[in-house]
Amino acid sequence: MLKPVPLAPSSSAGYNSPVPRVSQTIRVKVLFFGRLKDVAGRAEDFIEFADAATIEQLFALYAARHPELAKYRPSVVASCNEEFAAWDTPLRSGDEVAFLPPVSGG
């Protein structure tokens, strides 16, 4: 399981902490729309990863928090920076990822 690092990493970890600061933290903005927003209980979130992660892993992280999300996975399309994106897309810091249920405009 992928573990996100806390949003605001505490600087009070201790001056004698043996763990060096992670320099490669990836911070992404996450958006939920339609019924996914209802299930996730939020429209927007920010999350940080200490290690490389894909959009698929990002979704899995939320599905672990909100198990009902998992059942929507087959009918979800992801976007990255406003373009439809493959699930194996690696995240980069500053990305805006959105999880989109089937669209019903018109």
Partner 1 sequence: MAKLPHDDIYQLVREPIDVAALARQVRAPEDGAIVTFDGFVRNQSHHRPTLYLDYEAYESMALAKMREIGAQLHEKYRIHRVSVVHRLGRLEIGETSVFIAVSAPHRAAAFDACRFAIDSLKRTVPIWKREYFEDGAVWADGELPPAPAATPRAKPAS
Which residues here bind partner 1, judged by CB under 8 A? 31, 33-35, 75, 77-86, 88-90, 92-96, 98, 100-106
Pick the closer one to partner 1 by CB: 13 or 73: 73
The CB-of-91 to partner 1 minimum distance in angstroms stands at 9
The CB-of-73 to partner 1 minimum distance in angstroms stands at 12
How far apart CA 45 and CA 62 sit, in angstroms, is 10
Pairing of strands 83-85, 4-5: unpaired
Q: Which helix (H) or strand (E) holds 86?
A: none
Pick the closer one to partner 1 by CB: 61 or 95: 95
Cα 77 versus chain centre, distance: 14
Pick the closer one to partner 1 by CB: 61 or 97: 97
The CB-of-31 to partner 1 minimum distance in angstroms stands at 7
43 vs 11, 38, 50, 94, 99, CA distance in Å?
Answer: 29, 8, 23, 18, 10
The CB-of-85 to partner 1 minimum distance in angstroms stands at 7
Pick the closer one to partner 1 by CB: 17 or 103: 103
Choose among 48, 55, 60: nearest CA to 24.
Answer: 48
